[in-house]
Amino acid sequence: MSIFRHKPNEYLNKILGGVATGIVVALIPNAILGQVFSVLYKSTNMDIFQTLWEVVYAIQFTVPLVIGALIGLQFGYNGIQSACLSAATFIGSGVVTYQVADNYWKIAGTGDLFNVMFTAFFAVILIDLFKDKLGSLTVVLLPILGGALPGFIGVLILPYVSSITSQIGTLINTFTNMQVILMCVLIAISFSIIIITPISTVAIGLAVGLNGLSAGAAAIGVGACAIMLVVGSIRANNEKGVTLAVFLGAMKMMIPNLVKHPIICLPIITTSAISGLVASLFNIAGTAQSSGFGIVGLVGPLAAFEAGVSNGTSSLLQLGIVCLCFFIVPVVSALFSDMLYRKVFKLYDASVFENKGGM
């Protein structure tokens, strides 16, 4: 009997569905409130805002756990089975690691989402294989066979899967040595696509050490992607929550759309290329920490504003430049790109952006 209980497209669609929704659930609190609480704490010095920031920030660490639980729901698992799957994806993600030299456990980031998907795949196969054969020993053995074992497999393959991020970072690093306008356009395009894959734009930005114009271009690319997805989502999704979630930072919930309809890359690339070009002309800058956020929490725009003011531009003028580059140009470019490819060339229809945003 085959160990595969589902068709390949079922594995892909259900795992992608869990990943997309799990990312939204775990990242939205910090995306919406993190910057607000941080600013409030700095301006008032009230500990309550620091505590609130810590809470919404820490929820991000649960991304692999939440994804595992939601994938379990996709496959119709009961509580124990979903818990085993969550444990496997949490360990396989690499979000928690043991520091041998210092003898402590370190938790950081959201983990490697590609590896979360691979680990989930192994966990689903093993849970399906054993869930009906363990009888009264299910509560004892399934956490080992369906949780620890796939988690172990995930840990073994993590270095190889994580090398994908390293290789992409190396490629992007080569862009920083190019002519300024070309560099900004290529980095903006790269980050606009990366943000709707399981790869972390924040991790890439930090790994490469983007700074100045390269960091600004990366933030512009992420923001341009968000705005293009909002333009497409407004027409395709009756549920306004989907569009709002995308605007607030949940671009990765469109991962299933990218897999099913790669054509959406075309308007995204066009929007980000135009936006990156304009950003280079206005010297939009940023930091490694802001490069992967785009307009989420206004991290990218605030970094660009501070960089411009520190370089001698008046506050009012820099505010106008930031609004132009992060919002006006991407909106106009997105509307133009969508009309060009959807209505003029008829390469896709609005349904390619349809995302139910739930289970």
Give, for 104, the enclosing helix (H) or strand (E).
Answer: strand 104-107
Rounded CA separation 5/186 (Å): 42
3-class DSSP assignment, residue 94: coil
Kindly list the distances between the CA atom of residue 61 and the CA atoms of 54, 95, 143, 210, 284, in Å, as whole numbers in the listed order: 11, 7, 21, 24, 31
pLDDT interval class at 27 (50, 70, 90): confident
Any idea which residue has 């997805």 for tokens? 229
282 confidence band (pLDDT: 50, 70, 90): very high
Distances (CA, A) of 76 to 4, 13, 125, 128, 207: 16, 14, 14, 11, 38
Contact 329, 301 (CB under 8 A): no
Higher-pLDDT residue of 267, 169: 267
**3-state DSSP call for residue 348?**
coil
Residues 40-60, mean pLDDT to the nearest whole number: 93
Give the pLDDT confidence score for residue 315 in this predicted structure: 94
CB-based burial label for 9 (10 Å; 0-12, 13-18, 19+):
exposed
pTM of the model as a whole: 0.86
The answer on pLDDT for 309 being more than 50 is yes
- Give the model's pLDDT for residue 45: 92
Q: Given pLDDT bands bounded at 50, 70 and 90, which one contains residue 129?
A: very high
Q: What distances in angstroms separate CA 155 from CA 89, 117, 121, 148, one per listed residue? A: 10, 13, 14, 10
Note the pLDDT tens digit of each residue in 200-253.
898 898 878 899 999 999 999 999 999 999 999 998 887 778 888 899 888 988
- Residue 356 confidence (pLDDT): 67
Closest-CA residue to 301 (of 313, 280, 319): 319
